[in-house]
Structure 1
Amino acid sequence: MDTPEIHLLSAGSALPGPAVDNAALARRFKMEPLWEQWVDAFIGTRSRHLAVDLETGVIGHTLADLGTAAARVALERAALRAGDIDLLVMATSTPDALMPATVNVVADRLGIDQVPSYQLQSGCSGAVQALDLARQILLNGRHRTALVIGGDVVAPFYDVNADLRKLPPAELVNFVLFGDGAGAAVLSVDPAPGSAALRSVFTRLVGLGRAPGATLEWYGPVERPGKGPAAAEDYKAIEELVPVMSQDVLHELLDDLGWRGEDVDYVLPPQLSGRMTTQIFERLGLAGQQVSCVAETGNIGNGVVFFQLERALGRIGPKERAVGISIESSKWIKAGFALEGV
């Protein structure tokens, strides 16, 4: 018996509030004008959206807020109602609480009940892990339509009173690299106009013996002062390893599907920063169009892939092909997926 196809019907996204550009950050944190130029030149991210108000420190959006909003957009675009969903999967590294799981708060707000629900705790690659889990469950034949959500809110770790002039680079970069947001996608065993077949998905832990490239503690800097940084990035290790891992993922996807590089029409590269994303895309050496969001949204963790999918679905025509790559630096995970218009 032929293996059924799993189709990506739609994708949606949600961002908190207006964009915060580098000039606004420089003003708020009293950084010298050259700092803004440094961010533009070496990070390449022009703006991001934040769930925390920079002036008051008040958090105005939760992950559940953003996940619910993104899910509603995806459902509307798929012409489906909450009652049509019989499987729910969410990926995040920043849940609103340890319990209840944010995925179940979102389900309640959407009116979804009596279905399996899963929440994956992971960094950027959790989005692909969520797609993979949903796809595998749909392939067993007992469920037909899945809502997959990914997102992160870094507000609990964003100290608006920090003196950025005194921070080491591993902590400073987090203030300009990341943003908040959530995305969602609808997967189904049934195709629909404008859908794309999910031809391949894989994730693989490759961190044996490697030091973590990123850490995120359960506490925020305001809640537990003196305990070390709540969030830190080994940006040098990330710059060195992520481009190489991205090439590995691309070659594995192409080999698995029997595709050639020239067969790829759209490329969804890792969205680390504007500068690194461009470097990775150029290193991949593909002629396909780049589908990117990070320069405007910042690195939104588990939301990134869904923002890219939202942009890609509007472009992929019949028989056109797309590949997506996600690399997680926390303990080093390689992940990728491939789409084909139907």
Structure 2
Amino acid sequence: MTDVQVTIAGTGSYLPGDPIDNDRLEKLVGTLPAEVLDGIQVRRRHWMIDPVDGAHLTSNSRMAEAAARRALAHAGIEPEEVDLIVLSTASPEFHLPTAASYVQEHLGLERCALIEVRAGCVGAVQALDIAFRQLADGTHRTAVVIGAEAISPLLAPMFLGRDPDAVRMRDRLTLFNFGDGAAAVVLRGGSDTGTHRYGYVNACLGGHRAPGMRVIGGGTDIPLHEQRNRKRLIDIALDANGVAEYGPRVFVTALRELLDRSGLRLEQIGACVLPEGNAEYFTREFADAGLSEADFALLQTLVVENLADVGATGSPAVLLALDDGLRGGRVRPGENVMLLAIEASRYVYAGLALRWPETVGK
């Protein structure tokens, strides 16, 4: 078995419904202090539910399909050419079958290899690495890597049917933070001019720490008949203080390891694509985490993210920022690009460094 060249052929994204700005959300769930809103820096988000009555307007796998079709169209590749789908999500329609199998169905593919990663922000980077490896060794030829998240159905019970003034402040913080969506990247094996890939890193630093975020309910942590006694069937528990304290240390560790693994210096990077790299609650502790003032200043010029426009979206976050950065000219041909994500759930990080192709898309 010989290694083959792998290239990024196209990107695409999908955001459901109309954007919900902070003024509209405030009328539904109550207000957040101005300094808190400034800290999280989310101005609008998209939800797959109707925010008035909670009705589902689409689904996780349909959003994933839409993003995949846009990425395939950008690449000039027909869906029937896809022989590998790698999907990351923490919010599928069902525990089984996998959401990836529904994407396969929606794309009209009778036969396709499927891999599903259960993760949040780091999942799409992990999925890209898996796809790169399987195309490079010739196992498959055309892969669609997708991050998709349907978080709003978990948020609806926090505010539906309630007086906005009665919604708890910690729930409002969650409600203002999160958004839904999907994004995809098409990879092609056998290209004469492959995407140069420098290195990949992945680790969990939370083995001795409490989780920064948990999605509770619907699992097997306690008997199902006991779960019915919980205040909510499904709930999101976010340790905002813990994430603000420890998240930057995880990020700096990931950044240093990726630079070391890739053999690159920060000055050689053209773009650093992050899930939420400019959020003040996330960046304010970088200096204490060991990032020099000069490197911090340089990093701010390299960051590509769109948190303000889409919210914290979990699995699609890095790919949404990548697609937005590519179309906005912030990810440029021939430059070294880092895709770097940390995930609060158990303080996981994943990073991929590569040279962006000279041409992406047909």
**TM-score of the two chains, using structure 1 as the length reference:** 0.89
* Mapping 1:144-183, distance limit 5 Å: 144-158=141-155, 159=157, 160-161=159-160, 162=162, 165-166=165-166, 169-183=169-183
Verify the 8 A CA contact 1:323 1:337 in the aligned structure 2: yes
Whole-Å Cα distance in 1 between the matches of residues 67 and 339 of structure 2?
A: 20
Paired amino acid for 2:348 = I
Number of residue pairs the alignment of both structures matches: 336
Question: CA offsets per residue over residues 260-279 of structure 1, 9 Å max, x none?
Answer: 11101111123277434665
Question: Could you tell me which residue of structure 2 aligns to residue 75 of structure 1?
Answer: 72
2:17 is aligned with 1:20: no
Let me know the Cα RMSD of the aligned residues.
Answer: 2.7
2:238 is aligned with 1:239: no
Match for residue 302 of structure 2 among 263, 273, 289: 289
Verify the 8 A CA contact 2:245 2:285 in the aligned structure 1: no
Paired amino acid for 1:268 = V
Whole-Å Cα distance in 2 between the matches of residues 191 and 290 of structure 1?
A: 29
Shift of 1:165: 4.4
Verify the 8 A CA contact 1:9 1:191 in the aligned structure 2: no
Distance 1:55 1:15, change over 3 A: same
Question: CA offsets per residue over residues 298-327 of structure 1, 9 Å max, x none?
Answer: 011101111122134344444311112111
* Mapping 1:6-155, distance limit 5 Å: 6-29=6-29, 31-32=30-31, 35=32, 37-155=34-152
Question: Could you tell me which residue of structure 2 aligns to residue 266 of structure 1?
Answer: 271
Match for residue 333 of structure 1 among 348, 352, 357: 348
Shift of 1:252: 1.1
Shift of 1:191: 4.1
Secondary structure of the corresponding residue to residue 171 of structure 1: helix
Question: Could you tell me which residue of structure 1 aligns to residue 222 of structure 2?
Answer: none
Shift of 1:140: 2.2
Whole-Å Cα distance in 2 between the matches of residues 187 and 163 of structure 1?
A: 48
Structure 1 gap segments, 5+ residues each: none
Secondary structure of the corresponding residue to residue 315 of structure 2: helix
Paired amino acid for 1:105 = Y
Whole-Å Cα distance in 2 between the matches of residues 2 and 114 of structure 1?
A: 25
Secondary structure of the corresponding residue to residue 302 of structure 1: coil
* Mapping 1:183-222, distance limit 5 Å: 183-191=183-191, 196-219=195-218
Secondary structure of the corresponding residue to residue 75 of structure 1: helix
Whole-Å Cα distance in 2 between the matches of residues 278 and 296 of structure 1?
A: 18
Paired amino acid for 2:28 = R
Question: Could you tell me which residue of structure 1 aligns to residue 322 of structure 2?
Answer: 309
Whole-Å Cα distance in 2 between the matches of residues 122 and 234 of structure 1?
A: 18
Structure 2 gap segments, 5+ residues each: 220-226, 358-362
Distance 1:180 1:324, change over 3 A: same
Verify the 8 A CA contact 1:213 1:330 in the aligned structure 2: yes
Moved more, 200-209 or 243-252: 200-209
Shift of 1:19: 0.8
2:225 is aligned with 1:226: no
Secondary structure of the corresponding residue to residue 71 of structure 2: helix
Whole-Å Cα distance in 2 between the matches of residues 306 and 83 of structure 1?
A: 23
Distance 1:326 1:263, change over 3 A: same
Secondary structure of the corresponding residue to residue 10 of structure 1: strand
Secondary structure of the corresponding residue to residue 59 of structure 1: coil
Question: CA offsets per residue over residues 34-72 of structure 1, 9 Å max, x none?
Answer: x36344323211110111111122111111111111000
Question: Could you tell me which residue of structure 1 aligns to residue 360 of structure 2?
Answer: none
Shift of 1:142: 1.9
Moved more, 223-232 or 261-270: 223-232
Verify the 8 A CA contact 1:202 1:335 in the aligned structure 2: yes
Shift of 1:100: 2.1
Question: Could you tell me which residue of structure 1 aligns to residue 259 of structure 2?
Answer: 254
Verify the 8 A CA contact 2:48 2:56 in the aligned structure 1: yes
Verify the 8 A CA contact 1:219 1:230 in the aligned structure 2: no
Paired amino acid for 2:61 = A
**TM-score of the two chains, using structure 2 as the length reference:** 0.84
Verify the 8 A CA contact 1:16 1:51 in the aligned structure 2: yes
Shift of 1:332: 1.9
Paired amino acid for 1:103 = A
Verify the 8 A CA contact 1:215 1:330 in the aligned structure 2: yes
Whole-Å Cα distance in 2 between the matches of residues 185 and 111 of structure 1?
A: 19
Paired amino acid for 1:322 = V
